[in-house]
Every structure is written in structure tokens, then in C-alpha cells.
Amino acid sequence: MRNLKLLMSMLCLFFVLSGANAQTQTDTKIAEWERAKAYTKEYLDAMPESGYALKPTPEMRSFAEQMLHLTDANYGFTATATGEKPPYGLGEVEKITDKSKANVTKVVMAGYDYVIDALKKLTPEQLNEKVKFMNRFEMTKDMVFTKDFEHQTHHRGQATVYLRLAGVKPPQEKLF
């Protein structure tokens, strides 16, 4: 009986600590998205208004289109994870006609807020639920956010070239 009580106490402690660890992971994910938002804002601020239409080659997206593409994915990926209807349908953000610095910055920052707000609403248990991503990949909601983070990092990284072509020094790396 004494060993059973000890075992039960240890199991309770394990579950309490597991829950705390899961919440810490969620809090860390939110903090990383907030860092990514701030870093992307530095890119948006660094590019002069005239650079928003810059295309390294004719077939490539402009700087504004690159940032709007990043944002379109933030909405789409997050909507997949939450099951909620996003403010923009797939591809709609990229079709925004006002590609001014002020408007693109506003739209991109709202996209990051959408992701961060969604993460704040999801419990660690919900993040472990599976969803069908792009109608073909089964993964956890947490992995959808991870793939989205990778996507936005990739496109922000591409924007470094745009800044250099515009004669602008890119923001300092912001890993922490």
C-alpha cells in the first residue's frame, strides 16, 4: 500500500510537471513569434518606400509582394491549425493592390498578430491534435505552426537580397 501511494504521488508529480513543461513550450513558441514579428518589422522599416516595388528579376515578386506572400501563409497556416475562417482567403493577401510601405507594414503586422493571438488561445493539448495540412499532410497543429515559422523565416531571409539591391544594410540578425 505504501509503495502504491508513493507511485501515485510520483505519477501526479509527473503529470503536473508535464503540463507545466507543455505550457512553457507554448509560451516559448509565442515569444519566438513575437521576436519574428519584431524582426520582420525591422525589414519593413529598413526598406525605403521606393524599394517596395523592387524586383531582383522581372519574374520574381517585388519586396512588397514577398512580404504579402509571407503574410498570406501566416493566415492560411494558422487557419488550418485553428479551424477558424481567416480574415483573408488563400491568396487574397498577395492580391492587395495598395502596396505602399504603410499599408504593407500594417497588413504584415496584422498577420503576425493573427498567428500570435491564435497561439495564445490554444492549449498544449490542442496543439498536439492532428490536422490535415494542404489536404495531404497529416500533422499536429504545433507542427503546422512550426512549418509556418520556417516559411516566414525563409521569405524574410530572401528579403535581405532586396534590401541590399536597394542599397540598404539589412537589420542585424535577431536570433534572441
Q: What is the CATH number of the domain that holds 70?
A: 1.20.120.450
Is 19 inside any structural domain? no
> Annotated binding site, which residues?
69, 151, 155
Using 50, 70 and 90 to split pLDDT, how confident is the model at 157? Answer: very high
Q: Which domain holds residue 78?
A: 29-165
> Annotated binding site for a divalent metal cation, which residues?
69, 151, 155
Q: Kindly report, residue by residue over 33-85, the tens digit of the pLDDT.
A: 999 999 999 999 999 999 999 999 999 999 999 999 999 999 999 999 999 99
Q: How far apart are CA 79 and CA 118, in angstroms?
A: 9
Is 172 inside any structural domain? no
Is 155 inside any structural domain? yes
CB 148 within 8 A of CB 139: no
Report the SS3 class of residue 141.
Answer: helix
Structurally, the chain folds into a number of domains equal to: 1
